[in-house]
């Protein structure tokens, strides 16, 4: 029997692809993991923004075959950066010509006078070596420092993989006259009822009688192939885990250095107001400046098409940084939204918040090396760790589905 830990998109996708004899154990009282949707006072909110930009047509078709076409919106992505009280198109490095003249000259001069042989072994060093001081220090470093809530010198040069918007000098200059407007998700799909609709589509391939909700895994005996939960002991042939990799290693009794696996936490405020705001086009805004508490603000009302402003607001915290008084943070968030001009005279009529811990994993050269070693050791014990946190990587929901399908095929 396959024992799957976690009923998020990765665990459900693995079961949907593999079939056979299985049992899913989920600590929460509902499926979805971080891909849950909240309905409150007419607002539709996810735990945070989850938008679907399928790169694999077969996965898109698999998900969409059980969703009616009128349930899905195809959205043209429009995103900007709130930089010193002006809006600059994203990505910043491609649109420096939209800055004030002196700042534009600073960025352009630094881009074309990058010293030879600059170190580029860390994420921060790569930003300087690739884009120069101006672009790095005006946006790339402050924004990503807020997002990851860590020193960027800790991160691997390829910490964001294909999701980082690289651009060379020629592309940047061409964009001054002929905007490319290209990215990995220039358009995306979003269900009118929120991201849980995608989860439910995948879950429709799964026997709900084999999903045990509200059951927490507390120990794994890798020798006897048994898993102990807070309710019972389960014997398995293979165990597929989607929990954070460090937690899985702890439960298996596999030692690792505490500083190898680090991450940040993200506090998400979902906010509903009584009227639309001035922002009527952007799907989300990036906020690099330290004077604002948050690093990103998303507009569900612009994505779904609603007549009341509906926001998700994300605030990053370090792994060991206390979040503190959430009510006080909400008030500070509302104050900052007003200073930024996002909220004017609208009244807050609905609110929800969730703390995602972990949120973004910190990918370092040490974590990558240790992960490979630990994954090999686990597989020898018939244990496989998948998903954003199980595989300890920066990826999309589609990537999680793809990896789960690949593992199911390999294990067959």
The pLDDT of residue 185: 64
The pLDDT of residue 181: 57
**Residue 246 host element (H or E):** helix 245-252
Strand, helix or coil for residue 166: coil
- Closest to 195 (Cα-Cα) out of 407, 45, 410, 347: 45
In whole angstroms, give the CA distance from residue 71 to residue 190.
Answer: 9
Residue by residue, DSSP assigns 361-402 as EE--HHHHHHHHHHHHHHHHTTEEE-HHHHTTS---HHHHHH
What Rg, from alpha-carbon coordinates, does the chain have?
22
Pairing of strands 226-229, 217-221: antiparallel
Q: Do domains 2-35+195-260+364-411 and 262-361 have the same CATH topology?
A: no
In whole angstroms, give the CA distance from residue 135 to residue 152.
Answer: 15
Q: Cis before residue 358, ω within 30 degrees of 0? A: yes
Burial of residue 298, with CB atoms counted within 10 A of its CB: 0-12 exposed, 13-18 middle, 19 or more buried: buried
- Per-domain boundaries in the chain: 2-35+195-260+364-411, 79-177, 262-361
Pairing of strands 86-89, 37-40: unpaired
Strand, helix or coil for residue 349: strand
Which neighbouring-strand residues pair with 296? Answer: 286, 314
In whole angstroms, give the CA distance from residue 110 to residue 90.
Answer: 19
Strand, helix or coil for residue 289: coil
Helices (H), 283-325: 300
> What is the CA angle 34-2-47, rounded to 5?
5
In whole angstroms, give the CA distance from residue 238 to residue 93.
Answer: 46
The pLDDT of residue 182: 55
What global pTM score does this model have?
0.95
User: What's the fold here for domain 2-35+195-260+364-411?
Assistant: FAD/NAD(P)-binding domain (3.50.50)
Q: Token digits for 300?
A: 């569900």
The pLDDT of residue 54: 83
Which CATH code of 1.10.260, 1.10.3110, 3.40.50, 1.10.3470 fits the domain covering 79-177?
Answer: 1.10.3110
Question: What sign for the dihedral angle of Cα 82, 86, 91, 93?
Answer: negative
Task: Count the neighbouring beta carbons within 10 Å of the beta carbon of residue 119.
Answer: 10
Distances (CA, A) of 340 to 84, 136, 280, 289, 337: 9, 22, 15, 11, 5
Q: Which residues of the chain have pLDDT under 50?
A: none
* pLDDT, tens digit, 9 for 90 and up, residues 157-187: 999 988 898 889 999 999 998 887 555 568 8
Which CATH code of 3.20.20.70, 3.40.30.10, 3.90.660.20, 2.40.50.140 fits the domain covering 262-361?
Answer: 3.90.660.20
* pLDDT, tens digit, 9 for 90 and up, residues 114-127: 999 999 999 999 99
Burial of residue 11, with CB atoms counted within 10 A of its CB: 0-12 exposed, 13-18 middle, 19 or more buried: buried
Owner of token pair 């690099």: 288
């Amino acid at each position: 029997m396959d024992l799957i830990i976690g009923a998020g998109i990765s665990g459900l996708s693995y079961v949907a692809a593999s079939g056979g004899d299985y049992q899913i154990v989920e600590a929460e009282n509902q499926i979805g993991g971080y891909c849950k949707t909240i309905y409150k006072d007419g607002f539709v909110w996810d735990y945070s923004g989850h938008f679907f930009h399928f790169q694999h047509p077969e996965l898109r078709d698999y998900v969409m075959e059980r969703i009616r076409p009128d349930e899905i919106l195809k959205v043209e992505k429009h995103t900007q950066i709130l930089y010193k009280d002006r809006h600059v198109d994203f990505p910043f490095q491609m649109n420096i010509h939209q800055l004030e003249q002196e700042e534009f000259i600073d960025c352009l001069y630094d881009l074309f006078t990058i010293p030879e042989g600059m170190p580029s072994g860390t994420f921060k060093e790569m930003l300087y070596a690739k884009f120069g001081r101006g672009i790095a220090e005006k946006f790339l470093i402050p924004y990503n420092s807020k997002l990851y809530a860590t020193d960027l010198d800790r991160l691997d040069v390829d910490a964001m993989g294909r999701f980082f918007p690289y651009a060379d000098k020629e592309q940047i200059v061409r964009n001054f006259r002929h905007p490319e407007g290209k990215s990995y998700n220039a358009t995306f799909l979003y269900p009118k009822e929120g991201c849980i609709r995608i989860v439910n589509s995948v879950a429709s391939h799964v026997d709900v009688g084999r999903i045990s909700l509200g059951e927490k895994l507390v120990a794994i005996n890798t020798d006897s192939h048994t898993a102990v939960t807070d309710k019972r002991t389960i014997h398995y042939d293979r165990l597929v885990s989607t929990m954070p990799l460090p937690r899985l290693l702890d439960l298996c009794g596999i030692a690792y250095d505490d500083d190898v696996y680090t991450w940040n936490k993200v506090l998400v405020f979902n906010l509903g107001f009584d009227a639309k705001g001035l922002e009527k086009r952007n799907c989300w805004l990036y906020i690099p400046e330290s004077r604002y508490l948050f690093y990103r603000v998303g507009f569900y009302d612009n994505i779904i098409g609603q007549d009341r402003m509906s926001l998700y607001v994300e605030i990053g915290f370090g792994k060991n940084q206390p979040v503190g008084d959430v009510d006080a943070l909400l008030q500070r968030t509302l104050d900052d939204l007003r200073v930024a001009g996002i909220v004017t005279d609208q009244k807050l009529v609905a609110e929800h918040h969730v703390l995602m811990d972990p949120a973004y994993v910190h990918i370092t050269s040490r974590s990558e090396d240790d992960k490979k070693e630990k994954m090999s050791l686990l597989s020898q014990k018939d244990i496989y760790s998948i998903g954003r946190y199980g595989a300890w990587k920066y990826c999309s929901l589609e990537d999680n589905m793809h990896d789960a399908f690949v593992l199911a095929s390999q294990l067959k």
